[in-house]
Structure 1
Amino acid sequence: MSKKPLPISTICSWQNRIDPTPDYQRPPAWSKKQKQLLIDSILREYDVPKMYWRAVNRPDGIKYEVIDGQQRLRTIWEFRAGEFALARDADPVNGFPCAGKTYDQLDLDVSTIFDAYPVDVVIVDDAVQNEEEDEVRDMFLRLQNGTTLKAQEKRNAMQGQMRDFVKSLAQHKFFESCKFSNSRFTFDQVAAQVVCLEMAGGPTSVRDADLNRMYSENAAFDANGKVAKKVRRVLDYLLRAFPDKTPELERYNVITLYCLASTLMETYVHTGTEAAVASWFIGFETERRQQEELDEEHRDSQLVEYRRLTSYSTDGEESIRGRLETLEKRFFLACPDIPTIDAIRAFTPEQRLAIYRKDDGCCQIRTHCKGEKLSWSDWHADHRVPHSKGGKTTVSNGQVACPPCNIAKYDSLPDAIEVVG
């Protein structure tokens, strides 16, 4: 490490060389009052805490990543660009009035104090290998220990494949349909919660302590494994159900809807049910809001309880389980004709032999071949009507398929679970 006192004029001229938000950083969080206080402190030449930058060599020309000091750095840049003014009750500086003034409106003597103010910057060099990457993230967390970082902001700075998977999952377009914004990593928070729910196989506590434990215990999480694929499929399903901004999709509703959709995809013939789910859910939320306008004695007791469960401890197992039970009861009463999937998915050895003999060992799909003859050791037993669409695991619904044809068919199904060989 090396410490360099850099004048603010230099820091502003280097703006294009500095990345204030590498992926472990939190987004901008300071209020206008906090920004005004920092600038006022600089103009009065009070001491300002030093910043920590990491020297990097990136193709985009960035030379430094900010480990600590992002909020101060952004504030300096924004004030220099005239994006906000000093407080209206700010005292004069060296006899010059400053209240309510932007940088360009300051007296030259005062703006010179700002430009010449030396900020202590600690440059961290050679932190480019994996082991140094761990140290940089640890340094970030230690430096932020005295600030009000939210729990998900801290998790975002953790190392491991679980953190990376949640980070990528937070980019899913479904979250753009939700009412809440991504302020301070809210998308990451909900993404982590649905992963936790999927790993548990249903309702479980998804509080911060539970998510912290999930990140720590699953640092080697497989982003291409069964759980990861299932989470992506459920979010894809929800996106098809809610392609546009939907104000009913509150944060607590999303994690409960996720559980409902996960169950639906696991147990029921769900293909084509997206519109029904969306229509029913919006109707449910409309009825629930209308109920709140009624006198207590005329309200539906089930919806009163549902409202209670959305009012406190919404991330606790009891609350999630209770809300899910209400949604499941009402959804399947409203849509009683959705059939269950055949509980047996894989063909038995006897069924495989019968299917192979029935089709004379030749591929029946014929999209990547011409119906070639396959050896016993190199073929897939495929459902003619896909299992996810209600196809039964019977010899009459089975067919011989060469691996390329079957994999291509599998890839064309949005909710396929696995290739049955």
Structure 2
Amino acid sequence: MRLSKERYPVSVLKELQASIDVRPEYQRPMVWTLKQKRLLIDSILRGYDVPKMYWHRQSQNSEFEFHVVDGQQRLTTIWEFCDGGFALSKTSDPVDGIKTAKLRYADFNTELKKRLHLYSFDIVIVEEATQNDDEDEVREMFLRLQNGTTLKAQEKRNAMTGSMRSFVKEIAQHPFFESCKFSNSRFTYDHIAAQMTCLEIAGEPVSVRDSDLNRMYEEESDFDPKGKVGKKVRRVLDYLKRAFPDHTRELERYNVITLYSLASSLIDNYVHQNTEQKLAEWFIAFETERRADMEKDEDSRDVQLVEYQRLTSYSTDAAESLAKRLEHMQRRFFLAEPDIELIDPTRIFSEAQRLAIYRRDGARCQLRLKCDGTEKLKWDHWHADHIKAHSNGGKTTVANGQVACPDCNFLKSNS
């Protein structure tokens, strides 16, 4: 990788606009505030020193001549101002006696335009990369140049190399995210796609904090996007898109991960064909109930919904929080849709089904062959019994399940 330095005035930067890509895939989105933009233009007019930029020269057959490694915010601010995108602050002081407050580019007199157009930037040109290692060096340069600036964790991961990064970028483009309420500001879709992948690799609720995702990017740098996990992530997102084909305001950032885990469990363990509409209708009803509950007096609120709300507010990326939120969603979903059966009818009731049966029956034996059914059974001292015997074709569903004390269930089995 070779570096050379050139000096371009603002007038040339504007002329080169069509040949410069300020958003190569490792770049972060535009994040400057209007105040920061105004400050840059004011600094240029006053001839203050502005840091140099770094551009990466592309091959001749590329759409752009340069990719911006560092200087994205400065370039876009200059272009936006020259195109009339914003005005200077109303409190802006005069420049050498020339008024600048509230002026747009079109309002500039000849002297101000000359000051703007003749101001020159130092540009460090990174010569064209022809090897993969060179591209890695450019990404490494980007990360180092951003050191000390406010880059979010996902913005840093976006500049990493490896197939995990590429897979997450691909998944972040899935149309399901278009159905969500939140936007892709500062790679939010990438962040959630990375969390989904992390959960799928583990096969259970685990911590998906930034440190965990960083470790995943590093340890799974040779991740196979066509492997079992990659296929499963796409399959779950396809299912969710069928469930929510349109923009759905209930799909908030805090609940999408839990909903993903619920859908993933459905696909792995249950007969889920044609259940997309059921899931969507239940989820919207659940969110409607939860929001209405929040408006009630504290003494009137549903204790379980209060706990769920707490879990969505604190340590939301922790394993315990994710597990408890999933447990809550599963219990309510299977109570609402008790006829959804396990994929393998020979398997016993799942943990989620057992919990739904246990809550529905109030933890009391429904058989009452040896007991009167008044005693509450402890969680580790009861059986999930098929109402219609499994040997007679009874399905392993919540609707066909009931709480039984061990003595009654053994007596039923013997008879």
Q: 1:30 pairs with 29, 32, 42, which one?
A: 32
Correspondence 1:57 to 2:59: yes
Q: CA deviation at 1:343?
A: 6.8
Contact 2:261 2:326 in 1 (8 A): yes
Correspondence 1:147 to 2:155: no
Q: How does 1:247-258 map to 2 (within 5 A)?
A: 247-258=249-260
Distance 1:91 1:343 in 2: 78
Deviations 1:163-204 (A, max 9, x none): 000000000000000010000000000000000010110211
Q: CA deviation at 1:59?
A: 3.5
Output the amino acid matched with 1:85: A
SS of residue in 1 equivalent to 2:122: strand
Q: CA deviation at 1:344?
A: 8.1
Contact 1:252 1:315 in 2 (8 A): no
Contact 1:36 1:86 in 2 (8 A): yes
Distance 2:159 2:62 in 1: 22
Aligned CA RMSD, in angstroms, stands at 1.3
Distance 2:242 2:21 in 1: 36
Q: CA deviation at 1:106?
A: 1.0
Distance of aligned partners of 1:58 and 1:79 in 2 relative to their CA distance in 1, 3 Å threshold:
same
Structure 2 unaligned runs (5+)?
Answer: 348-394, 396-415
Q: How does 1:368-383 map to 2 (within 5 A)?
A: none
The range that moved more, 55-64 or 45-54, is 55-64
Distance 2:128 2:277 in 1: 53
Distance 2:346 2:201 in 1: 22
Q: 2:328 pairs with 316, 326, 329, which one?
A: 326
Runs of 4+ in 1 over 6 A off after TM superposition: none
Distance 1:205 1:199 in 2: 12
Q: 1:311 pairs with 313, 330, 337, which one?
A: 313
Distance 2:338 2:73 in 1: 54
Q: How does 1:96-135 map to 2 (within 5 A)?
A: 96-135=98-137
The range that moved more, 335-344 or 102-111, is 335-344
Output the amino acid matched with 1:73: L
Distance 2:242 2:60 in 1: 37
Deviations 1:43-88 (A, max 9, x none): 0000000000001025354100000000001001111111111111
Output the amino acid matched with 1:318: E
Distance 2:303 2:63 in 1: 61
Q: CA deviation at 1:332?
A: 0.3
Structure 1 equivalent of residue 21 of structure 2: 19
Structure 1 equivalent of residue 243 of structure 2: 241
The range that moved more, 50-59 or 21-30, is 50-59
For normalisation by structure 1, the TM-score amounts to 0.81
Distance 2:266 2:234 in 1: 15
Contact 2:59 2:128 in 1 (8 A): no
Contact 1:174 1:235 in 2 (8 A): yes
Q: How does 1:257-276 map to 2 (within 5 A)?
A: 257-276=259-278
Q: How does 1:400-411 map to 2 (within 5 A)?
A: none
Contact 1:242 1:278 in 2 (8 A): yes
SS of residue in 2 equivalent to 1:159: coil
Distance of aligned partners of 1:58 and 1:280 in 2 relative to their CA distance in 1, 3 Å threshold:
farther
Distance of aligned partners of 1:58 and 1:311 in 2 relative to their CA distance in 1, 3 Å threshold:
farther
Q: 1:225 pairs with 217, 224, 227, which one?
A: 227
